[in-house]
Amino acid sequence: MAIANLSSIVKYIVIQSHNKFQQITHDVSWLNVTLRNYSELYTVIRQMEFALLQMIYQTDELIEAIQSVLQGKLPLSLINPTTL
């Protein structure tokens, strides 16, 4: 009787350990997918930020060139550095 009781206790512990292992495996897998998705999102956001900064820079250059033309001057960005 004691051996059967001990056997059922060991069986219960093994089943519980297996269930905990499956849950931990699921949680780790979910965390990996989530972190990868956040990493990809972070990369896309950084790329968009860089593209936006480039656009702002180019827009500023364009506005400066237009202002120079309106004042009747040649924009410095159009002059070859060796000419200066």
Taking only the tens place, the pLDDT of each residue in 15-58 is 999 999 999 999 999 888 888 888 888 889 999 999 999 999 99
Spans of all domains in the chain: 9-71
Count of CA atoms in the C-beta half-sphere (13 A) of 46:
6
The answer to whether the beta carbons of residues 65 and 75 sit under 8 Å apart is: yes
Give the mean pLDDT of 73-81.
Answer: 68
Q: Per the structure block, which two tokens stand in for 24?
A: 């931990």
Q: What is the CA radius of gyration of the chain?
A: 33
In one-letter notation, the amino acid at residue 14 is: V
More confident residue, 65 or 80: 65
Instruction: Identify the pLDDT of residue 70.
Output: 84
Q: Per the structure block, which two tokens stand in for 44?
A: 């896309």
Question: Distance (Å, rounded) from C-alpha 64 to C-alpha 57?
Answer: 11
Stated pTM of the model? 0.53
Instruction: Identify the pLDDT of residue 38.
Output: 87
Question: Distance (Å, rounded) from C-alpha 29 to C-alpha 33?
Answer: 6
Instruction: Identify the pLDDT of residue 33.
Output: 86
Instruction: Identify the pLDDT of residue 1.
Output: 65
